[in-house]
Copies of this chain bind each other. A is one copy, B any other.
């Protein structure tokens, strides 16, 4: 947690000045340092890394329960691999970092610094897959990816290096592939919503906004405190696009080669960290979900007789429960200590003074609700066991409140304008088409409202008797319109 003697000062309104709030919190809480001398590449400091690895573990456990196995592919990918799938290469080449030299010698052909790994995995998949018994093949890797981002960068949200996971799955049939998309949706919901208490909009993207090389893209969006949505994970149904380009297939009993069906899935761990910070925090700083907090509780002694001994006993009790505990007995005022640990988002503060010693109690402060409760020492363990669930509910409700604050229905451009002027940022409306023939209406929405079409909910029934908010033709989709990071 860095230099204990530096004081934290902070007074920025998270919702009114979200960008300032965010920039101050990630730096002052020593999560991220963006002073490294490459634009868009940040240093993850210990406090962030400890959160990050819990998030990784959530996804990895969930992926492995679903039959995925870990792998690791090279960070460099030959240009010829990228060139194999025409749409994919058009999408990624403009933002690829290229390695062109080894030592003082130019390389005979250049290598891409992994912008995403389809063209690395599938080069090997074409060698690994021969028979139906090789399927399904479900592998994932936990690595970073690199994009030469030309837009303005923002730490964790838009960078040139970001932490993620990519899973690449191969099936014999489309039906199995589509089941995988549903499984990926469940994974996102179970982790992002179930573990991290962040409500998720799970949307199928319009054709003009899909992953380059995919048949369809499904993405998890979360709502940030400024009302913009942040895509934190996506899953792509690739059909046979890549299996044709890379000649991946299995031989059936008659010796015929059958193209395989593919999906890929990628939660963006850096962005999920940004979402945890932004969505759960408040005007006093971070609020970390109990499940990911590196420090679950800080014990703060208020000087008095027997306090030190009693505090040490409590610290040990908490450690014995397997919790991350800090004992803050620095020579500082309790107020300064309260301020610091609140800012760092430690879920529980345990205050111990003379009164607590004499009554065999502790005073527990809940960072999220800022409520103080007096608890008998012998009840502490039980209280903490229940706390994780209660805090989760509290944080989830707040995040849902945040999302709903920005959400509205708008059947026409005019109603949309009026909703926006009263502070709404995410509009549910209807669109003629999410195929390429709907792109013109989407452009108009962009120009007129400053919002983009984020897509429709998965398995949504087509709306009946609804009209496109732009062209007025029969609408095929209920869609979400939002400003996206």
Q: Which residue of B lies closest to A123 (CB)?
A: B37
What is the interface residue range for chain A against chain B?
A: 35 or more
A4, CB-defined interface residue at 8 Å: yes
Inter-subunit contact A100/B101 (CB<8 Å): yes
Whether A70 touches B50, Cβ cut-off 8 Å, given contacts A123-B36, A124-B33, is yes
A471, CB-defined interface residue at 8 Å: no
How many whole Å from A411's CB to the nearest CB in chain B?
41
* Contact partner, A76, options B38, B110, B127, Cβ 8 Å: B38
State how many copies of this chain the complex holds. 2
A3, CB-defined interface residue at 8 Å: yes
Residues in B neighbouring A131, C-beta threshold 8 A: 3, 5
Cα distance, A64 to B76, chains bound together (Å): 31
How many whole Å from A153's CB to the nearest CB in chain B?
12
Q: Which residue of B lies closest to A144 (CB)?
A: B75
Cα distance, A72 to B124, chains bound together (Å): 29
* Contact partner, A43, options B72, B102, B111, B146, Cβ 8 Å: B72
Main secondary structure of the interface of A (DSSP, over half): mixed
A20, CB-defined interface residue at 8 Å: no
How many whole Å from A418's CB to the nearest CB in chain B?
41
When each residue 104-137 of chain A gets 1 if its CB lies under 8 Å from chain B and 0 otherwise, what string results? Answer: 1000001101000000100110011011011000
When each residue 426-460 of chain A gets 1 if its CB lies under 8 Å from chain B and 0 otherwise, what string results? Answer: 00000000000000000000000000000000000
Inter-subunit contact A45/B71 (CB<8 Å): yes
Cα distance, A35 to B415, chains bound together (Å): 59
A472, CB-defined interface residue at 8 Å: no
Interface positions of A from 45 to 86, Cβ below 8 Å from B: 45-46, 49-50, 52-53, 69-78, 80-81
Inter-subunit contact B120/A36 (CB<8 Å): yes
Residues in B neighbouring A163, C-beta threshold 8 A: 72
Please choose the segment from A90-98, A220-228, A276-284, A304-312 that sits at the chain B interface, where 4 or more of its residues have CB less than 8 A away: A90-98
Cα distance, A52 to B50, chains bound together (Å): 20
Inter-subunit contact A98/B96 (CB<8 Å): no
Cα distance, A338 to B127, chains bound together (Å): 27
